[in-house]
Structure 1
Amino acid sequence: MDTTETAVGLAQRAPLTRPDPLADFRADVAAASARFPELGMIIYPELHLHSADDLPANDRPAALREKAVRLDSEFVAEIGRIAAEHNIWLCPGSIGEIADDGSFFNTQLLFSPAGDLASTYRKMFPWRPFEPHRPGTDFVVAQTPDHGAFGLSICYDAWFPEHSRHLAWMGADAILNIVKTTSQDREQELVLARANAIVNQVYVLSVNCAGPVGRGRSIVVDPEGLILGEAGLGEDTIIVRVDPGRVERVREIGTAGTNRMWSQFACDDDPIPLPLYGGTLDPKRWSPGHGIR
């Protein structure tokens, strides 16, 4: 697949708590698009549109579920119209999703420039015991026609190395890790962003919500672990360029011109048992995008 680099904006914003947040969201997307006309994609933090931070902690789980919608709702369709108005790939963060069976998920959305809901991902590792959502079970990599492949990831997922590794194996050039970190561990998450980028040779874009609710410090890391941009604590927009060709070059020549993890195995190496997962690490299948592209 022929791809070109794309300018991506990480919109570090405070959560929207008004009953109808879409008017404020529409205005913010319009402002960002006008200020940075080169943008091909804008990414917002976790639960940016479905927040309950203005309520006491004990009341938030019920309030979050009350705000949740189905993916075929008018609320979701309106976000798609916002993407189409500005002809951009748009990740509005995540929303509360009510599934057909009534289950409640924390679901990341990605809309195409035509306004179509191109990909959805249910958070696999809710931050327990504090989050009320059910865990998702499917890894998601969104293939774009022109800008490469984007793995979807939500906050605490980044703490589980299997998650980022699987997205890279599925062919992701970049991991879009949307975050709502209000606790003291943002410093550790910055380390994880670099580590996940290094060991998988992918871009990692981690966009957190701004203070005073969140700890801010959104970060973008390149496939060798170099920091391309980092925000402070308040509202900010980081603009970076994601180039799938750079991912290919790093994997070809190695990180720092040395390490080529995805070329570790020879075809005649024995599979390595993985007792923790009840599976194996099979050299015949050890390559990014295996069987996908």
Structure 2
Amino acid sequence: MIASCIQLSIRLCKRRENLTRALALAAEAVGEGADVLVFPELFLTGFCYEEDLSDRPPYPSLDPLRSFVEEYGCMMVGSIVDGRLNRGFCLDESGIGLQEKIHPFGPEKDHFDGGGSISPIKTSKGRIGLSICYDLRFPEVARKLALSGADFLVTIAQFPASRGYHWQTLCRARAIENQIPHLACNAAGPEFCGGSAIIDAWGTPLAEAGSGERVILAEVDLAGRDLIREQIPALKDRRPEIYRFQKV
């Protein structure tokens, strides 16, 4: 699998402009062989609270992306606004799979509700464990996705520039502790830290971005996940019966 993170500079409330740029960068990615294309959180609109840019099933705002997927046989990952949900999607030739953001952050809570379930999305490229931005700070999300059979993790985000070190550390940690590849795509621009990364199941970055708009690619070995889990059987050695929280 050749994965790409498309670190897009998002123009707030400018859906048409964001779409045009996203498709141009997507063409660049597939031209270099990518078959999985990951965009940042809410890459078509940003957190646009001034206008109602939400979409509803079957999500007509994604029709240009559907056409692109059908033409190139790839898969796209991102998120859109669906009413009061920040709804992550995996879009391929077989259709669309969805996973809501579980943890809205700070002022987002005035506009978004958190999702109510966590499970991998079945796609033509494997079972994807998708999480969105602030979800990265909650290790329970990635752990449940890994234990539920995800083949790789994907995090899409608009992580701020002031917390770039947190982003980098948490992205690697989620891969290392779950022994699973992790595709982490952040937004570009002065207010965001960028730093998108494709990380293998050992926690080694295969490709990393700086802060600017760009496309990164790497070949991801999904079979390597199982080999690493055999070498260090951390998931098998878990003792969940003693992890339950008890008040002291």
Give the letter for the 2:38 counterpart.
I
- Which secondary structure does the structure 1 equivalent of 2:194 belong to? coil
Contact kept in structure 1, 2:99 and 2:121, CA below 8 Å: no
The equivalent residue for 1:82 is: 68
Contact kept in structure 1, 2:25 and 2:215, CA below 8 Å: no
Between the two proteins, the alignment pairs up a number of residues equal to 243
Contact kept in structure 2, 1:178 and 1:207, CA below 8 Å: yes
Any runs of at least 4 consecutive aligned residues in structure 1 with deviations exceeding 6 A, and if so which? none
The equivalent residue for 2:151 is: 173
The equivalent residue for 2:80 is: 95
Any gaps of 5 or more consecutive residues in structure 2? none
Does residue 143 (structure 1) correspond to residue 136 (structure 2)? The answer is no
> Is the deviation greater in 183-192 or in 24-33?
24-33
Q: How does 1:95-244 map to 2 (within 5 A)?
A: 95-98=80-83, 104-112=84-92, 114=93, 116-117=95-96, 119-131=97-109, 132-145=111-124, 147-244=125-222
- 1:244 and 1:148 map into 2 onto residues whose CA distance is 9
Contact kept in structure 1, 2:6 and 2:26, CA below 8 Å: no
Residue of structure 1 aligned with 2:227, choices 242, 249, 252 = 249
The equivalent residue for 2:9 is: 14
* Cα RMSD (Å): 2.0
- 1:172 and 1:270 map into 2 onto residues whose CA distance is 19
Deviation string for 1:44-76 (max 9, x for gaps)? 101110225xxxxxxx4343xx01110213213
Contact kept in structure 2, 1:141 and 1:171, CA below 8 Å: yes
Task: Quote how far apart the aligned CAs of 1:217 are.
Answer: 1.0
- Which secondary structure does the structure 2 equivalent of 1:61 belong to? coil
Normalising to structure 2: TM-score of the pair? 0.90
- 1:275 and 1:109 map into 2 onto residues whose CA distance is 33
Deviation string for 1:54-100 (max 9, x for gaps)? xxxxxx4343xx01110213213332222112210111x211112xx
Task: Quote how far apart the aligned CAs of 1:182 are.
Answer: 2.5
Does residue 29 (structure 1) correspond to residue 17 (structure 2)? The answer is no
Give the letter for the 2:105 counterpart.
W
- Which secondary structure does the structure 2 equivalent of 1:153 belong to? strand
Flag the 1:41–1:19 CA change in 2: closer, same or farther, 3 A.
closer
- Which secondary structure does the structure 2 equivalent of 1:129 belong to? helix
Task: Quote how far apart the aligned CAs of 1:173 are.
Answer: 2.2
- Report the structure number with the largest CA radius of gyration: 1
Residue of structure 2 aligned with 1:263, choices 233, 236, 239 = 236
Q: Taking every aligned residue pair, what percent have the same amino acid on both sides? A: 27
The equivalent residue for 1:284 is: none
- 1:16 and 1:154 map into 2 onto residues whose CA distance is 19
Deviation string for 1:7-27 (max 9, x for gaps)? 001111101442424344333
- 2:163 and 2:139 map into 1 onto residues whose CA distance is 17
- 1:174 and 1:11 map into 2 onto residues whose CA distance is 17
- 1:45 and 1:127 map into 2 onto residues whose CA distance is 16
- 1:156 and 1:19 map into 2 onto residues whose CA distance is 23
Deviation string for 1:222-255 (max 9, x for gaps)? 111112121111011111122221000000112x
Normalising to structure 1: TM-score of the pair? 0.77
